[in-house]
Structure 1
């Protein structure tokens, strides 16, 4: 079974840290989704301008391409916000039925505190509310689990691994 996993959520939820830990446990490649953004997107976010669907489209296509490249030998875990169900559906279409989502969610206060304590990151706290209003929960999506980002990293890792172990499609 190919490991194709997106650790998702708004900025500050810890998707990069959790994704890296998960990739290490699975022996998979880790990709920081932020690194796949076109330069224009980074510039917009750095200056406090929220991205729209048209901005995210080429970025999501690149994320999907990276997911599709995964093989049994080179599974992949990507940290990607995947805020809307339509974005997740696009990634599903590009990556195939093996794709799984680990959604890290938390309180606005915790997310803002974490964002404020990330020196050098281009995503300002001022864009958190935009991300939270864009976020569509994964409710009803059988290939996704939502975890509290306030949990200790080891608990997030263990819950993610348990979900992945029990959420495998037999026809995949």
Structure 2
């Protein structure tokens, strides 16, 4: 009888192992290391969060929700977003709740890119964005930040030179991980 071996998609095989995970695996075996490498606090979960989780379990929030998340949570997110940014969003059509930031990034990128498309990524950058681009069979074009007067900056000339008809996405994080660079208002306006 032939063994079933479906193999992995070529796009998945091209994703290299995370150096962060590699270093974290080493650090986890070392006593006294503060676990800041995953963006995870080394402090215990605050009591009010534990209490809210217990209350949710006791109130029966133990089943699947709507695909985009609980309507009450999406409405609360819309209110907070409007409070912070002064922009109203329809929670039913403009807000989706995911299980993690990586899942949100994955879903977002996959809704934009098709095979053969290009995404421009400011670097150095957290590697997950470029990995997801690659898993879409798209190409991540890396544009390094330049150092200008002791501050990291966007190289707009390199950005404009990288634009092509296949460019569908500009991927950057502000504040940047790992640089700490923050896009200025002028950067965003340009």
TM-score, with normalisation over the residues of structure 2? 0.27
Higher relative contact order (CA 8 A, sep 6+): 1
TM norm structure 1: 0.29
